[in-house]
A and B are shown apart, each in its own frame.
Chain A
Amino acid sequence: MNNRRADVRGHAEGDERFAAVDTHIRKTRHSQDQLIQTLHVAQDIFGHLSHDLMAHVATELRLPPSTVYSVATFYHLFRLDPPGEHQCTVCTGTACFVKGSESIVGKLSAEYGLAPGQTTDDGRLTLRTARCLGSCGLAPVTVLDGRIQAHQTPEGTLEQVGRMLDPHALLPEPADEIAPDDGRRAV
């Protein structure tokens, strides 16, 4: 066991999170078939897959680094960059798309200079797209820090994101909060 420890290069000394990844790798007997599962575990522990972390997984599973990187970039659920402090996810599924979610993405992208999947330079905001959130009746839907927002407009979402990033900023009064039972439901 100690030998294996000493073998790990590029390993942040004393970072207990690596030990947690190693525990999973030992449990699965260093099986190369477990690469995807190991990356999931590693991402759960670290929040994202850094190059160091992927190199560590490659070393432990005795896989070529390029293969680990290839798998990590193939699947959408793996993140290579740390997520920002705040998250904004815009649904671009069919119903939300028809209801204009692209213009919400466009507005946010232009305002914060982000493409979907990117994080602002100051690490404050991550913009993501998802399809589909399964709440098509509320289209277009966004998720701000885990909270679902229904019937969004580009301006409304921009304002909400602004408040999420800076709750004390002097912004215009919020438009009526749209709750699921705001009378827009089909009769």
Chain B
Amino acid sequence: MPDRRGVLELSLDGRRLNAREGQTVLQVAREHGVPIPTLCFLEGLSTWGSCRICMVEVGPQRVLRPACATPVVEDMEIRTESPRLRAHRRMILEMLFAEGNHVCAVCVANEHCELQSAAAQAGMDHVRLEYAAPQRTVDATHDRYVFDPNRCILCTRCVRVCDEVEGAHVWDIAGRGESAHLIADMNVSWGQAGSCTDCGKCVTVCPTGALFVRGTSTGEVRRAPDVVVRLTTARREHQWLPAGEGQ
């Protein structure tokens, strides 16, 4: 007989569903095949909740909550689709595009980019904001990898995977607001960062073309972010999932 402790009932886009206590809205939605776009979220890493693309409407008041960071509660009423949410997601995407220098046609991650596919899914065919066109210098000082800050959306996946999985904590975010940027060690070039183990986990979890293997050409990036789930599961439970089936 199944254990009924900690089982909740809630409504997701009008469907009555069961969920387990401690799950997030995003986990429940994914279990039931309801798509919610995400950028900063990555299975296996701590929750950051900064990109705000996974917002859903909760309750009769339709309060906006980030699905990745909102635990489910009994009788929760969740909506993942509405004109307001579509407008909201599109605005976030437009702001991300306007903030950096995202030129898909010449990007190593073209057609393998989470930002690009989120924009395509949201139907973002143009950006209504003025492009900030910031001047940012590419860091190609590392022997194996390149960091192009023009394509960075500050999702902090690299910061978290380096800290939580590799344990090196090379990366962090310096500054704040529009001057916030990714740094290695004490704001040195990547090649000079003594704490870097050259493991490449940051590269494989990057949702855009900001981090890539040296020598990668346009559209050649291939990511394997499920490595995070494989490593954390193995460490926690001594269960080695086969490569490529982490999610």
Stretch at the interface among A19-27, A69-77, A146-154, A174-182: A69-77
> Could you tell me which residues of chain A, from 51 to 108, have a CB within 8 Å of some CB in chain B?
51, 54-55, 58, 64-70, 73-74
Of all chain A residues, the one with the shortest Cβ separation from B167 is: A64
Q: Which of A51, A67, A69 has the most CB of B within 10 A?
A: A69
- Select which of A54, A55, A66, A74 is within 8 A of B171 by beta carbon: A66
- Select which of A54, A64, A73 is within 8 A of B175 by beta carbon: A73
B173 with A70: CB separation less than 8 A: yes
Stretch at the interface among B32-40, B127-135, B181-189, B231-239: B181-189
What 0/1 readout, one digit per residue, does chain B (146-184) give for beta carbons within 8 Å of chain A?
A: 000000000000000001000011111111100000011
| Distance in angstroms between the alpha carbons of A68 and B162 in the assembled complex | 16
Is B217 located at the chain interface by the 8 A CB criterion? no
Q: Which of A66, A67, A70 has the most CB of B within 10 A?
A: A66
* Nearest CB in chain B: distance from A61 CB, A: 13
A70 with B174: CB separation less than 8 A: yes
What 0/1 readout, one digit per residue, does chain B (194-210) give for beta carbons within 8 Å of chain A?
A: 01000000000000000
- The interface residues of chain A lying within 8 Å CB-to-CB of B173 are 70
The A interface, classified by DSSP as helix, strand, loop or mixed, is helix
| Distance in angstroms between the alpha carbons of A153 and B175 in the assembled complex | 32
Contact A70-B183, Cβ < 8 Å, known A64-B195, A65-B195: yes
Contact A69-B176, Cβ < 8 Å, known A64-B169, A64-B195: no
| Distance in angstroms between the alpha carbons of A54 and B187 in the assembled complex | 11
* Nearest CB in chain B: distance from A109 CB, A: 17
Of all chain B residues, the one with the shortest Cβ separation from A68 is: B186
* Nearest CB in chain A: distance from B50 CB, A: 14
Q: Which of B172, B176, B183 has the most CB of A within 10 A?
A: B172
- Select which of A51, A54, A55, A64 is within 8 A of B172 by beta carbon: A64
Of all chain B residues, the one with the shortest Cβ separation from A70 is: B172
- The interface residues of chain A lying within 8 Å CB-to-CB of B184 are 66
A65 with B186: CB separation less than 8 A: yes
Contact A73-B174, Cβ < 8 Å, known A54-B186, A65-B185, A66-B185: yes
- Select which of B169, B175, B176 is within 8 A of A67 by beta carbon: B169
* Nearest CB in chain B: distance from A39 CB, A: 13
A66 with B169: CB separation less than 8 A: yes
| Distance in angstroms between the alpha carbons of A73 and B177 in the assembled complex | 11
- Select which of A51, A58, A66, A74 is within 8 A of B170 by beta carbon: A66
| Distance in angstroms between the alpha carbons of A60 and B168 in the assembled complex | 17
A55 with B175: CB separation less than 8 A: no
Identify 24 residue pairs between A and B in the complex whose beta-carbon atoms are under 8 Å apart, listed by A's number. A51-B187, A64-B163, A64-B169, A64-B172, A64-B185, A65-B186, A65-B195, A66-B170, A66-B171, A66-B172, A66-B174, A66-B183, A66-B184, A66-B185, A66-B186, A67-B169, A69-B172, A69-B183, A69-B185, A69-B187, A70-B172, A70-B183, A74-B175, A74-B176
The 9 closest A-B pairs by CB, nearest first: A66-B172, A64-B169, A70-B172, A73-B174, A65-B186, A65-B185, A73-B175, A69-B186, A74-B176
